[in-house]
Amino acid sequence: MNGWTDELARARLHVVTGKGGTGKTTVAAALALALATGGRRVLLVEVENRQGIAQLFDRPPLPYSEERIASAPGGGEVRALAVDPEAALLEYLDMFYNLGFAGRTLKKMGAIEFATTLAPGLRDVLLTGKVKECVRRAGKTGRHEYDAVVLDAPPTGRVVRFLDVTRAMADLAKVGPIKGQSEGVVKLLHSGDTAVHLVALLEEMPVRETLDAVAELDAADLRPGAVFVNRVSPPRLPARSVASASEGRVDAGRVRAGLEVAGLDVDADVLDGLLEQTVEHALRVRMEERAKDKLAESDLPTLELPELTDGVDVAALYELAEVLVGRGVR
Amino acid sequence: MNRLDVDALLDNPETRVLVCCGSGGVGKTTTAAALAVRAAERGRRTVVLTIDPARRLAQSLGLGELDNQPRRVHALDLDQGELHAMMLDMRRTFDDMVWQHAGRERAEQILANPFYQTISTSFSGTQEYMAMEKLGQLVERDEWDLVVVDTPPSRSALDFLDAPQRLSTVLDGKLIRMLSAPARAGGRGIRKIVGAGFGLFTKAVSTIVGGQLLQDASTFVQAFDSMFGGFRQRAQATYELLRSPGTGFLVVAAAEPDALREASYFVERLSAERMPLTGLVANRTHPVLAPLPAPGALAAADRLERTGDAPLAAAVLRVHADRVAVADREKRLLARFTRAHPGVPLIGVPALPTDVHDLDGLHEIGRRLAGE
């Protein structure tokens, strides 16, 4: 399957996960820009205290508030929020207990970190709780404040535990305010409003982790969305040459003759180097083909994003967003 | 650029511990395993402690058995060195520590506590703490010339230095005693500071996490108290081991901005803690193998593609131009790192075109680490 589906277009919370090093934050940011294209308002959220969004958009660290960080083509805008679990806990407690000054003192003492350590699930419940609040918040005109929320989630190894609020709640009090809040979070995460997207590279390990994560999401009754295949480089060799080149067979005479036609006269060392690079390229193309076949087992919509040799800057994010819009993201 | 001489490092008998650290997804585990293979090939009795190896890599090291002890890797044909490998079982390492430091009755009490289950499996610093504990044990056994250790796949490269401290803070128990019995000892002082807010906080926390969990935690900390000194002492001893002259830290990074930024944080942190930084491994680089300027190659490829002659040669030139672009970018990023940290020796490890999951692959990476 290729491209965005109608079902995905209906989602309001887009959770983005992936193995470490696959470019999860980049894809989340590009997706936010793509979703905002054409005049919509999108919130991009991070939860791991990494300030990855600020770095990506080349800005100072984000405060705990929803800041406008980019305009999208066609009048849309992207805001960003870095959720700090300590601040979220205090904000939350304040709603019920009016802690005021005492809250800040307790924070200084490390009491908040202590409470979240005591019950590791509490941290996740607080973070997802804040995300839910953003998704459901009503704007001035009675519509939702945000048309979509994109969550840069923990990596694949931890994401199901992070989203499995029901399990986290088993650690926590069976009654009381947080129980009430968590029920709303569970409802949102398991509804058609939420899609969990996976970022993969065309390499063995990231693909395996992606498939494992899909199975885990299914088992936890969470809905896998699309697979974003990141950093896809163009195949350069004619398809018929790939197999033999990957076995080390590149016709040196033919290459040399071709180079001469183009006016390049190269010595033996250069030619050897060129051939070796070509063999490595062919090996990688083969590996990527195998990875693609394997990834197809997930039976999820797939969207490819190109490798950017110049690295990822703000302009590159717009480029990636444009690619996503071209693949039907809306 | 200051080049890292891996063979000299591995051959030096004073090198007793090598810690491979870096952010997730940069190839730490593979690098640790390849270093161990290389050291064994060069005649040293080596053990490698891996944290969470990919399944096929684990199999290639004979890590099928999960007994939390090093096993000799027989598949490697060596003259005099030896390679042993193990995979960390954090729960078991923790259990062993409890048995060692507490009396039988008390140990049973601790292991049965529900809060212990949380701490020993889900607390985010436990894996780091147990990796360091296991490292301490391996060094203490004194059966190997060299211990190579992989670090857990943390969110950030710095986590494993901080984890023991964070866990200690929790187990220290002052806060938990105040939370579970704020009216009794120790509670009053804190009340003076925060006033009625503390009572409210206690109430809030127990509403949220539940009275039962607080009670379990309190029982656990009380039982743990008697052995806590032993725990802290060990953590301190391991920390000192990490600072000793026989230890070296290798920071592993990909030639990517994020990974190098993490590597920079790590380098600064090691220097602040006066930990011995050995060098940076720039993993999976793509050096250009053919000295041919890219613009000329691209122009020639354009000419060939226009006429449709020699599609193979055109493709070879495109591959080359791509490679030059990637290599230039990697060089730029590494040069930036070196400018910021001129004293840090660095070695680039050219990427293998395929995945590595056997001893041959590790041997080949070992060669590349040594710059062969």
Whole-angstrom Cα distance, residue A220 to residue A317?
32
Q: Please tell me the total number of residues recorded for chain A in this structure.
A: 330
Cβ contacts of B170 on chain A, cutoff 8 Å: 114, 117-118
Whether pLDDT at B200 is above 70: no
Q: Is A277 on the interface with B (CB under 8 A)?
A: yes
pLDDT tens across A128-167, in order? 999 999 999 998 888 899 999 999 999 998 899 899 887 7
**Which of helix, strand or coil describes residue A182?**
helix
Token duo for residue B366: 């070992």
Q: Is A280 on the interface with B (CB under 8 A)?
A: yes
Whether pLDDT at A180 is above 70: yes
Whether pLDDT at A69 is above 50: yes
Residue B201 has what pLDDT?
A: 63
Whether pLDDT at B33 is above 50: yes
The vertex-A66 CA angle with A65 and A70, nearest 5°, equals 140
Task: Evaluate whether A206 touches A219 at the Cβ level (below 8 Å).
Answer: no
Residue A212: pLDDT band (50, 70, 90) is very high
Whole-angstrom Cα distance, residue A197 to residue A182?
22
More confident residue, B193 or A315: A315
Among candidate residues B50, B57, B19, B18, the one with its CA nearest the CA of residue B365: B57
Token duo for residue A323: 């690619």
Token duo for residue A137: 């918040």
pLDDT tens across A234-256, in order? 889 999 899 999 999 999 999 99
What is the rounded average pLDDT for all residues in chain A? 89
The alpha-carbon gap from B217 to the nearest alpha carbon of chain A, in Å, equals 8
Whether pLDDT at B188 is above 50: no
pLDDT tens across B311-363, in order? 999 999 999 999 999 999 999 999 999 999 999 999 999 999 888 888 999 99
Q: Is A250 on the interface with B (CB under 8 A)?
A: yes
Between the CA atoms of A266, A267, A268 and A270, what dihedral angle is there, to the nearest 10 degrees? -60
**Do residue B208 and residue A173 have CB atoms under 8 angstroms apart?**
yes
Radius of gyration of chain B (CA): 25
Q: Mean pLDDT, to the nearest integer, of A282-286?
A: 94
Cβ contacts of B203 on chain A, cutoff 8 Å: 97
Residue B24's CB is within 10 A of a number of other CB atoms, namely: 19
Find residue A45's DSSP bridge partners: A81, A151
ipTM of this predicted structure: 0.86
pLDDT tens across A88-133, in order? 877 777 776 666 666 666 666 666 666 676 676 778 888 999 999 9
Give the sign of the dihedral formed by CA B58, CA B64, CA B69, CA B70. negative
Residue B190: pLDDT band (50, 70, 90) is very low
Residue B209 has what pLDDT?
A: 65
Q: What is the number of CB-based contacts under 8 A between chain A and chain B?
A: 229
Preferred mutation among A247, A280, A308, A310 to probe B, highest tally of B CBs within 10 A: A280
Q: Is A100 on the interface with B (CB under 8 A)?
A: yes
Whole-angstrom Cα distance, residue A128 to residue A185?
7
Which residues in B109-120 are b (16+ Cβ under 10 Å) and which e? bbbebebbebbb
**Do residue A177 and residue B207 have CB atoms under 8 angstroms apart?**
yes
Task: Evaluate whether A25 touches A18 at the Cβ level (below 8 Å).
Answer: no
**Do residue B312 and residue A22 have CB atoms under 8 angstroms apart?**
no
The alpha-carbon gap from B183 to the nearest alpha carbon of chain A, in Å, equals 17
Whole-angstrom Cα distance, residue B197 to residue B182?
12
Whether pLDDT at A79 is above 90: yes
Alpha helices per DSSP H over A137-251: 156-163, 165-169, 177-189, 204-219, 239-246
The vertex-B242 CA angle with B239 and B247, nearest 5°, equals 170
Task: Evaluate whether A172 touches B210 at the Cβ level (below 8 Å).
Answer: yes
Q: Is A255 on the interface with B (CB under 8 A)?
A: yes
From A122, A276, A309, residue closest to B289, measured CB to CB = A276
Whole-angstrom Cα distance, residue B44 to residue B33?
14
**Do residue A262 and residue B122 have CB atoms under 8 angstroms apart?**
no
Q: Mean pLDDT, to the nearest integer, of B94-99?
A: 90
Whole-angstrom Cα distance, residue B276 to residue A219?
45
Which residues in A222-252 are b (16+ Cβ under 10 Å) and which e? bbbbbbbbbbebebbbeeebbeebbeeebee
Residue B24: pLDDT band (50, 70, 90) is confident
Whether pLDDT at B118 is above 70: yes
Residue A219 has what pLDDT?
A: 95
Residue B184 has what pLDDT?
A: 43
